[in-house]
Structure formats: C-alpha cells, structure tokens
C-alpha cells in the first residue's frame, strides 16, 4: 500500500504541472501590450460574435474584425460603443498620446469589445464580454495580431476598458 501511494504521488507530480501549464497558455495573445508604445491611432469596434472557434480563437477574432461590416462600428451596439468611447476619449484628453480614427485601414491598433451577454442585476442591462487589442500592422509582410485581452473571460464593458487604459498607461509610462 505504501508503494502504491508513492507511485501515485510521483505520477501526480509529473502530470499536474503539465496540466496547469496547458490551462494557462493563451492561444490568442501573440504579442505584448508594449508594442503599443509608439502607436497613436486607435479604432474601436463593438461586435457580438456569432461563432467562436475555440481551437483557433485568434483567427476567428481577426476575421471578425476584418470582415466588411467593421467600417460602421457604432451601428448595432451604440450604447456600449458610446460608454467605451467615452472612457477612451477621457484618456485621450488627459494624456494626448493616442487619437481616434474613422477608418479601420488608418488605425495603428484596434480595440475590439466582443459582447457575450447582457446581465440584468438591477433592472438595467449591463453588457459583459471580452476586450481585445489588435495591432493593425501590414508593413514589411507583418500580419495583424492580438497583443492584449481582458484577464477575465466575461467582464463588464466599463471594467474592461478601465483595465485596458491602466495597462496602456503602464506600458507608455503615463502612470
């Protein structure tokens, strides 16, 4: 019996770190928020994804952004868009290190809020979702890639933009 316990302990010591590593790896983020230090022009998109590919989530996010409807970011979710844009505009006014653009092709980076659900805790809808930041770099054969995402899978829209702004300030040395 004692020998069996030692064998089980040995197996757990080998398997558990591998499982923990597999759970913490993120196949979406392919860069660092530090890539945004010298990027100034931002484009905001609020979408609700119809299909999520869990295997290749980064590809599905990028295809969602670069599809034809991305030129009208406010159309469907104006209330959420305006709440997030208000926080971004306040950051722009305070620090003047970024500016907004009207076209996706003019942006240095893209902020995407992917709406997952509405929650109604106090009779008012609260949008929950994930926020992503995508570097929109097509120069020198580079591909656009995700450099930041919210720490939680489902987060209130205003908390997500606050988290992004705090990380942007830290990356740009504006704290």
pLDDT tens string 81-112: 999 999 999 999 999 989 999 988 899 999 99
Nearest to 165 by CA among 148, 144, 152, 140: 148
Report residue 54's pLDDT band, with 50, 70 and 90 as the boundaries: low
Mean pLDDT of 126-130: 91
Mean pLDDT of the chain: 81
Q: Which residues contact 45 (CB under 8 A, 6 or more apart)?
A: 65, 70, 73, 104, 110, 111, 112, 113
Residue 145 and residue 32: Cα distance in Å, rounded? 10
CB distance 99 to 92 below 8 Å: yes
Half-sphere exposure of residue 3, counting CA atoms within 13 Å on the CB side? 0
Q: What percent of the chain shows pLDDT beyond 70?
A: 78
Q: Classify residue 126 by its DSSP letter.
A: E
pLDDT for residue 59 is more than 70: yes
Note the pLDDT tens digit of each residue in 4-52: 766 655 554 455 444 433 333 456 777 888 999 989 999 999 988 766 6
Ordered by start, the domain boundaries in the chain are 28-172
Tell me what pLDDT residue 41 has: 95
> Which contiguous run of DSSP H or E holds residue 12?
helix 2-24
Of these ranges, 17-21, 74-78, 156-160, 171-175, the one predicted with the greatest mean pLDDT is 156-160
146 CB-near residues (< 8 Å, 6+ apart): 28, 29, 30, 31, 58, 61, 62, 132, 133, 134
Whose tokens are 């670069």? That residue is 66
Q: Calculate the alpha carbon distances from 98 to 69, 92, 106, 120 in Å.
A: 24, 6, 13, 34
Residue 39 per-residue DSSP state: -
Give pLDDT, residue 22.
36
Q: Which of the pair, 66 or 162, is modelled with greater confidence? A: 162
Dist CA 85 CA 89 (whole Å): 6
Predicted confidence at residue 25, as pLDDT, reads 43
Q: What are phi and psi of 54, to 5 degrees?
A: -70, -25
Q: Which residues sit opposite 84 in a β-bridge?
A: none
């Amino acid at each position: 019996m004692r020998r069996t316990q030692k064998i089980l302990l040995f197996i757990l010591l080998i398997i558990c770190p591998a499982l923990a590593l597999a759970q913490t790896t993120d196949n979406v983020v392919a860069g660092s928020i530090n890539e945004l230090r010298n990027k100034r022009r931002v484009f905001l998109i609020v979408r609700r994804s119809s299909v999520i590919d869990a295997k290749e989530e980064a590809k599905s996010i990028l295809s969602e952004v670069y599809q034809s409807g991305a030129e009208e970011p406010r159309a469907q979710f104006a209330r959420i868009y305006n709440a997030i844009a208000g926080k971004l505009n306040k950051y722009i006014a305070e620090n003047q290190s970024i500016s907004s653009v009207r076209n996706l092709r003019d942006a240095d980076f893209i902020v995407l809020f992917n709406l997952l659900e509405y929650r109604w805790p106090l009779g008012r809808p609260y949008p929950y979702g994930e926020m992503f930041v995508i570097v929109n770099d097509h120069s020198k054969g580079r591909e656009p890639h995700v450099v930041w995402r919210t720490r939680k899978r489902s987060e209130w829209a205003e908390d997500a933009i606050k988290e992004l702004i705090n990380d942007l300030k830290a990356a740009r040395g504006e704290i």
